[in-house]
Structure 1
Amino acid sequence: MTSSITTGVVNNVQNTDTTTGRTGRTGRDPLRALGNAVRSTLRGPVLAALAVPQLLLLTAATVAACLLGLGVGALLVPPTVLAIRGLAGLRRRLAARWSGVEIRDPYQPLPDAEPGFRGAWKRCQAILSDQASWRDLLWLLVDPVVGFTVAIIPLSVVAYGVLGLLLPQLWQPIADHGGNTWYLWIHVTDSGAAGTAALFGVPVMLAGLAIAPGALRAHTALAKSLLGPTARAEALAAERKVAHLTETRRDALTTQAAELRRIERDLHDGAQARLVAMGMNLGVAERLVERDPEAAKQLLAETRQASASALNELRDLVRGIHPPVLADRGLADAVRALCMDSPLNVTVSADLPGRPEAPVESALYFAVSEALTNAAKHSGASHVDVQLWYENGTLKAQVTDDGTGGADPSRGTGLRGLERRLATFDGVLAVRSPLGGPTTLTMELPCELYSRRTSSS
């Protein structure tokens, strides 16, 4: 019997590696199989312990909901639900780490926090209208009962097996104190019966270990059914994604068309006009070179000056398309060069271990450039601090000025243009600009860094 249950433990791990979620014949290594079973057994009490904060949060949510009629609940519901979502997020992370099961967040985006009761009520409405919030409450109700039982059974069986092994030493004190003297189907009334019961201790322990991986998978399946997105939620998420991609594609095409018109206008009104004038001056100088050399020399000097101006305009135009320093030296040095040309006092700090793809790098460069231009034109600032860093798969920039504040994306095209530029790459812009300042713009672009750093920070 001991051999058959040991084989069961091994076969459980052959089918699924609960640490990685991969299928394979890991059971060929008995020690590895046993280690996986022990880990699954010990993880059960951790999952069972979640019942305590679950019940506390369920109680808090019930109280907050009861106070909605008095208005106080609108202030209590958002933080309570956010705490519930935090606990649910912990369970999702444990599912990914221990069972290899990815449970995606099903929540709809919340509106931005606004001060006062009105802002709290808007967030409360958004939370209560989200189906995922109610499924979280159902999880708080079901998991402390069903999940707790599933999670604690393997360890309970193992502990029962240990009790069987210890019965030769413990049966007499248990009997003297009026305790239960039955073990499985054996009535322990003497040392012989206790020894017989002890023979079943190891099989019972191995049975607990054998069912532990399956119990962990069942617990994860329960969590996924309640905490994961439903089919309807996934369809709505797909629709929002399509709408977002459609909007950002339209913005990208609009921005590209405007950029092409700007380049055409700059070429027509600048370098092209100067080149036409240079051609005319050269024609006149050619006719004057014999009869009026001095006038021809003056025209040639003007033409040389015009050629220098045309070259500078072409260089400026190239910088507006894609600065050479950005391609050669990377984002950090390009932003430093940009800040040197700013009329404000600008400090730059950068911590970039590599470089992203060129379009992403260019988008963030021009976003910082536009933020500096807005600060110089509208903020009344004298000093600007620019920070660049990379964290958790996201390229980030923060531009802070000491101006008068009051910047609002809804009241101007500058910040809206920044949002559109970043949204093309699924980036976001966060604005914090209280009246009186300071103004802080935080820009984030999800990306991967590929090449090594090109300059020190």
Structure 2
Amino acid sequence: MSSDTTSSELAKENWAAERLRAPWRGFRLSLLAFPAIALATLLITSYSLVTSVVGILMVPPVVMLARSLMNVYRDLIGKWTGVQIERPYLPEPPEEEDPGFVGQWNRFVRLSSDPATWRDMAWLVADPIVVFFTAALPFYLVAYGLWGLILAGGMGDVIANAGGQEWYGFIPIQQGYGNDGAKVTATVLLGTVFMVAGFLSGPRLLKVYGRWGQSLLGPTEKSKLALRVQHLTETRSEAVDASAAELRRIERDLHDGAQARLVAMGMTLGAIEHLLDKDPAKARLLLAETRQSSAKALHELRDLVRGIHPPVLADRGIGDAVKALALDHPLQVEVESTLPGRPQPPVESAAYFAVSEILTNAAKHSGASRVWIDLRYESGFMRITVTDDGHGGATLEGGTGLRGIERRIGTFDGVLALNSPVGGPTIVTLELPCELSSPKTLPS
């Protein structure tokens, strides 16, 4: 069987499965109408009592409960319709609120002045109606079609013989129904049409419902701006903290390393001055030690400079810089770089040190023997994938080094994705938005 035939069969299976699942998913979304109606009633009641202290105390917890339900809606809509909806709520203040009445009043004002609160309320009121004519309609079409088949299969006679009478579409169900072949056939055909219409329209109506959710549950321009400001504030603070930590590291390395050696060399040279005439042999021995100390100090200074901004990174770009890292790494590291140019120096530096730390973590904790690094540029993003064949189980929780990498690249709106099942492999993917310049041409 050819690969084209296999892919065609898979596409058909996916097409059928999507239409079989859509009505049931729409029905499950419609069940959320019951808590939505209850919360809408509770929220309206709370605001109607706002002239009293009771209303001011009731509104915040009810609003937060409604937001929890809205988050369920967003998650299900994103999962079942493919329409991803961001949380639109304005950021909470960083400081703790006064636990007294003043704090309750401030919280009431803040939540009530958030446009997303009123959009949530509009959703709670309108969605129980909208969902019936969009996401849930295919389920009821299928159910009505199935009811027609049940009537044609004998239930119609049971109803008629019991003295009941009803219409199925335009077909009357009455005495003698089961003996009227034309009516039974018409009922079967009409029921089949309803079922087919329900299955075929399910995915499309789910998409319509997804767009409806995005229009009302998504962020407004005001909340987008506020969330963006919050993100920039957090990343700026993290960048300042990281810069301060880096400065402290450089000072510590200078003080404990090269500076201490230079001081020791100065003292040794002073001793040599006194020994030149009295004990030339010992002076020569101290000169040899001083030469070794100067070489070590120079090596430490080079390592320090390399840790601040490696010359190979400045001269040749991140692709060659990562290859240089691979050459000095204790594990077997393969690097594939297809970058058509170079990102801005700050982005390039952040990506380089992120890869360096990932490699360090792999050597220390992964139990791996080989590492593969892939660097490429796609759709405005520099994407770096680091894969090792270790035992897996890496996590972002608990303040690990990966969390620090995530904060480092978050300064540039970058994201980190981790896939590390127990048993391996571990795959770390970094994505940083950037524009590439033409690669620097080196003189021959």
Q: What TM-score do you get using the length of structure 1 for normalisation? A: 0.58
The 1-side partners of 2:251 and 2:245 are apart by 10
Q: Is the 8 A contact 2:90 2:226 kept in 1?
A: no
Q: Is the 8 A contact 1:111 1:123 kept in 2?
A: no
- The 1:254–1:134 alpha-carbon spacing in structure 2 relative to 1, beyond 3 Å, is same
AA in 2 matched with 1:146: V
The 2-side partners of 1:89 and 1:280 are apart by 73
AA in 2 matched with 1:210: L
Q: Is the 8 A contact 1:188 1:197 kept in 2?
A: no
The 1-side partners of 2:89 and 2:398 are apart by 24
Superposed CA offset, 1:360-404 (max 9, x none): 8999xxxxxxxxxxxxxxxxxxxxxxxxx965xx34239xxxxxx
SS at match of 1:116: coil
Q: Which residue of 1 aligns with 2:129?
A: 145
Q: Is the 8 A contact 2:83 2:207 kept in 1?
A: no
Compute the displacement of 1:199 (Å): 3.1
The 2-side partners of 1:225 and 1:239 are apart by 22
Q: Which residue of 2 aligns with 1:89?
A: 71
Superposed CA offset, 1:84-121 (max 9, x none): 12111111111222122211111122135546224444
Bigger Cα displacement from structure 2, 41-50 vs 100-109: 100-109
Bigger Cα displacement from structure 2, 85-94 vs 231-240: 231-240
User: Match for 1:173 among 144, 158, 173?
Assistant: 158
Compute the displacement of 1:250 (Å): 4.9
The 2-side partners of 1:32 and 1:254 are apart by 53
SS at match of 2:86: coil
Compute the displacement of 1:170 (Å): 2.3
Asked if 1:116 is matched to 2:102, the reply is no
User: Match for 1:39 among 15, 18, 21?
Assistant: 21
Compute the displacement of 1:41 (Å): 0.9
SS at match of 1:108: coil
Q: Is the 8 A contact 1:285 1:300 kept in 2?
A: no
1:255-404, aligned counterparts within 5 Å?
Answer: 256-257=246-247, 260=250, 270-289=260-279, 357-358=355-356, 391=395, 394-397=396-399
CA-based RMSD of the aligned residues comes to 4.7
AA in 1 matched with 2:138: P
Identity, % of aligned pairs?
25
Compute the displacement of 1:40 (Å): 0.5
Compute the displacement of 1:125 (Å): 3.0
Q: Is the 8 A contact 2:91 2:230 kept in 1?
A: no
Superposed CA offset, 1:393-435 (max 9, x none): x34239xxxxxxxxxxxxxxxxxxxxx99965659xxxxxxxx
Q: Which residue of 2 aligns with 1:194?
A: 183
User: Match for 2:223 among 233, 241, 246?
Assistant: 233
User: Match for 2:169 among 184, 187, 195?
Assistant: 184
User: Please, which runs of 5 or more residues in structure 1 have no aligned partner?
Assistant: 1-23, 330-355, 364-388, 399-419, 428-444
SS at match of 1:194: helix
Asked if 1:61 is matched to 2:46, the reply is no
AA in 2 matched with 1:397: G
Asked if 1:131 is matched to 2:115, the reply is yes
- The 1:276–1:447 alpha-carbon spacing in structure 2 relative to 1, beyond 3 Å, is farther
AA in 2 matched with 1:40: A
Q: Is the 8 A contact 1:395 1:447 kept in 2?
A: no
Q: Which residue of 2 aligns with 1:159?
A: 143
The 1-side partners of 2:359 and 2:62 are apart by 40
Q: Which residue of 2 aligns with 1:348?
A: none
Task: Count the aligned residue pairs.
Answer: 332
- The 1:422–1:47 alpha-carbon spacing in structure 2 relative to 1, beyond 3 Å, is closer
SS at match of 2:88: coil
The 1-side partners of 2:419 and 2:140 are apart by 48
Q: Which residue of 2 aligns with 1:100?
A: 82
Superposed CA offset, 1:243-288 (max 9, x none): 5445544555555456555655666864322221111112222222
- The 1:221–1:26 alpha-carbon spacing in structure 2 relative to 1, beyond 3 Å, is farther
User: Match for 1:71 among 33, 53, 74?
Assistant: 53
User: Please, which runs of 5 or more residues in structure 2 have no aligned partner?
Assistant: 1-6, 308-327, 331-353, 362-392, 427-444
Q: Is the 8 A contact 2:406 2:416 kept in 1?
A: no
SS at match of 1:200: helix
SS at match of 1:182: strand
Q: Is the 8 A contact 2:235 2:407 kept in 1?
A: no
Q: Which residue of 2 aligns with 1:212?
A: 202
Compute the displacement of 1:452 (Å): 7.2
- The 1:83–1:197 alpha-carbon spacing in structure 2 relative to 1, beyond 3 Å, is same
Q: Is the 8 A contact 2:91 2:226 kept in 1?
A: no
The 2-side partners of 1:110 and 1:202 are apart by 53
The 1-side partners of 2:217 and 2:246 are apart by 42
Compute the displacement of 1:224 (Å): 1.4
AA in 1 matched with 2:155: L
Compute the displacement of 1:130 (Å): 1.8
